[in-house]
């Protein structure tokens, strides 16, 4: 049986390690502060923001959720960001995406002070990532590297394949794996013969957003699979097909009306992989943990602790 890379366990380790750092800052009168801006009404975003605020509360980080209405303009949102940039007690600013359609997302993300950009999306921090300079790294990719390190999965000299080239997952994880001395191939929707490229991977990262797309023919025996995909299946026939009529999954679907599945076939991965992240419970929990880590690191930098 392959090793299950347990994201919840690693999340708890990371959060526990942050506690004394938060306590030290608090003793100096510098409670770390995170502001989350949630514009408009989006049920999924509301759940993510609740989880982030709860993680802050558990750690003793001050958090604020700002919730401007759906109708907010780019200029109004820019004002909110500028006010947060100027606040001494706020170390991290996170603008929850997606923003309402009338808002210019790029302008908003550019307006966040790079020192407070705990998502690591600002071009300055992307530059820091590429050149290996210190600065906040995008949370999900940073969590993936942390997971691999803590499970002692070697990256140096290994062949890694990343499927997906988004700015928030694919590109930064590619760069982080490169910094760990992996030989990295990045694939996308125009990559020909994707299966044969994926079969060369010793580490395969799937960040596509297509349920169970990577089946056995994409997986070489013993591969380490990092499945970033978080796809909600709300059709019973699809659940039955993807999980080969698993009574447990069908019962879960009947209870909740939905089931989560990654980008990698959940049964094939068990057959082929040497180690893999389950969905849910793999990569997902690490994102919030790394957001907390970025917030604490930002508070330390701003307080002159490191
Ligand atoms: P995007 O939609 O921004 O990017 C998807 C990428 O997959 C694109 O580069 C696209 O290629 C590529 N792709 C799409 N279809 C194919 C295909 N048939 N063959 C090869 N490549 C393909 O998604 P994100 O990066 O934002 O997210 C990816 C997944 O990860 C989603 O399921 C998302 O929910 C999940 N996610 C999970 C997080 C977590 O914390 N667990 C955090 C962030 C995301 P192209 O560029 O050519 O269009």
CATH of residue 192: 3.40.50.720
User: Residue 278's pLDDT is what?
Assistant: 98
Give the distance, in angstroms, between the CA of residue 252 and the centroid of all CA atoms in the same chain. Answer: 25
Nearest-atom index, ligand 1, CA of 283: 41
Whole-number Å distance, alpha carbon 223 to ligand 1 midpoint, is 20
Mutate to test the pocket of ligand 1, among 8, 120, 190, 207 (most ligand atoms within 8 A of CB): 207
pLDDT of residue 305: 83
Does the beta carbon of 194 lie inside 6 Å of ligand 1?
Answer: yes
Indicate the length of the chain as a whole number: 306
88 and 149, same domain (yes or no) = no
User: Is 224 in a helix, a strand, or coil?
Assistant: strand
Verify whether ligand 1 is closer than 6 Å to residue 170 (CB atom): yes
Active site residue 96: yes
> What CATH number should be reported for the domain holding residue 62?
3.40.50.10860
Output the CA 164–ligand 1 centroid distance in Å: 5
- Pair (52, 161) in one structural domain: no
Residues 153 and 271 occupy one common structural domain: yes
And the tokens for 120?
């690591």
User: Which pLDDT belongs to residue 75?
Assistant: 98
Task: Determine the distance separating the centroid of ligand 1 and the alpha carbon of 96, expressed in angstroms.
Answer: 17
In the chain, count H helices and then E strands. Answer: 12, 11
> Could you tell me if the CB of 226 is within 6 A of ligand 1?
no
In a domain, 300, yes or no: no
Query: Is the CB of residue 262 below 6 angstroms from any atom belonging to ligand 1?
Result: no
Number of domains composing the chain: 2
Q: Is 106 tagged catalytic? A: no
Residue at a domain's end among 85, 116, 147 = 116
Catalytic annotation, pick one of 91, 96, 171, 249: 96
- Backbone torsions φ then ψ of 71, nearest 5 degrees: -80, 0
Q: What is the pLDDT of residues 24-44, one digit of tens each?
A: 999 999 999 999 999 998 888
Q: Which of 91, 117, 119, 263 is catalytic?
A: 119
| d(CA 280, ligand 1 centre) in Å | 16
**Span 86-117, pLDDT tens digits:** 999 999 999 999 999 999 999 999 999 999 99
Beta-carbon neighbour count of residue 74 at 10 Å?
17
Residues 74 and 189 in one domain: no
Pocket lining: 186 vs ligand 1, CB cutoff 6 Å: no
Question: Is 271 found in the same domain as 155?
Answer: yes
Q: Which domain holds residue 266?
A: 139-285
Residue 252 confidence (pLDDT) above 80: yes
176 lines ligand 1 (CB under 6 A): no
In a domain, 20, yes or no: no
Question: Which pTM was predicted?
Answer: 0.96
Pairing of strands 159-163, 203-206: parallel
For ligand 1, what atom is nearest to the CA of residue 209? Answer: 32
Is 141 touching ligand 1 by the criterion CB < 6 Å?
no
At 94, list the tokens: 């996170």
pLDDT band at 182 (very low <50, low <70, confident <90, very high): very high
Out of 81, 116, 151, pick the residue that ends a domain.
116
The response to whether residue 164 sits with its C-beta less than 6 Å from ligand 1 reads: yes
C-alpha of residue 102 to centroid of ligand 1, in Å: 23
DSSP state of 100: P
Residue nearest to atom 31 of ligand 1 (CA): 209
Give per-residue pLDDT as tens, 120-174: 999 999 999 999 999 999 999 999 999 999 999 999 999 999 999 999 999 999 9
Going by C-alpha positions, the residue among 96, 119, 100, 121 that lies closest to residue 45 is 96
In terms of domains, do 198 and 255 share one?
A: yes
At 239, give phi and psi (nearest 5°).
-60, -45
């Amino acid at each position: 049986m392959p090793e299950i890379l347990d994201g919840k366990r690693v999340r708890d380790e990371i959060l526990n390690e942050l506690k004394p750092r938060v306590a030290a800052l608090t003793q100096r009168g510098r409670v770390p502060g995170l502001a989350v801006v949630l514009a408009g009404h989006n049920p999924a975003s509301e759940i993510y923001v609740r989880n982030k605020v709860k993680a802050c509360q558990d750690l003793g980080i001050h958090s604020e959720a700002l919730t401007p209405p759906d109708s907010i303009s780019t200029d109004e949102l820019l004002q909110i960001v500028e006010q947060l940039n100027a606040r001494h007690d706020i170390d991290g600013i996170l603008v929850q995406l997606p923003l309402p359609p009338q808002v210019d997302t790029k302008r908003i993300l550019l307006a966040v002070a790079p020192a407070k950009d705990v998502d690591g999306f600002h071009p300055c921090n992307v530059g820091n990532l590429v050149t290996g300079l210190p600065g906040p790294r995008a949370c999900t990719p940073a969590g993936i590297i942390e997971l691999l390190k803590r499970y002692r999965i070697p990256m140096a000299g290994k062949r890694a394949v990343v499927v997906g080239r988004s700015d928030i997952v694919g590109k930064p994880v590619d760069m982080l794996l490169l910094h760990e001395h992996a030989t990295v191939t990045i694939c996308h929707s125009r990559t020909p013969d994707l299966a044969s490229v994926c079969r060369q991977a010793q580490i395969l990262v799937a960040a596509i957003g297509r349920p169970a797309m990577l089946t056995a023919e994409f997986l070489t025996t013993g591969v380490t699979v990092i499945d970033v995909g978080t796809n909600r299946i709300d059709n019973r026939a699809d659940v039955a097909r993807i999980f080969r009529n698993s009574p447990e999954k069908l019962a879960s679907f009947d209870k909740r009306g939905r089931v989560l599945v990654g980008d990698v076939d959940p049964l094939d991965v068990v057959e082929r992989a040497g180690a893999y992240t389950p969905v849910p419970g793999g990569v997902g929990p690490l994102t919030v943990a790394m957001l907390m880590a970025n917030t604490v690191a930002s508070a330390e930098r701003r307080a002159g602790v490191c």
